[in-house]
Amino acid sequence: MDKTMMAVIGVVLGLAIAIGVIQAMQPTLAYTCPICGIGFATYD
């Protein structure tokens, strides 16, 4: 695996974690990402 691909994966995971942390501060409904298994909060 080349460094570019690793960097892209790192950025995507970083964003997913950041979004999860931000949304976890004000949860309404629990939602788990089917791809990465990270829990998110959804807003209706």
3-state SS of the chain? Answer: CCHHHHHHHHHHHHHHHHHHHHHHCCCCEEEECCCCCCEEEECC
Please state the domain extents for the chain: 3-42
Q: Which of 3-7, 18-22, 25-29 has the highest average model confidence (pLDDT)?
A: 3-7
Mean pLDDT across 6-10: 92
Q: Could you tell me the pLDDT band of residue 19, with boundaries at 50, 70 and 90?
A: confident
Q: Is the pLDDT of residue 3 over 70?
A: yes
Q: Is the pLDDT of residue 27 over 50?
A: yes
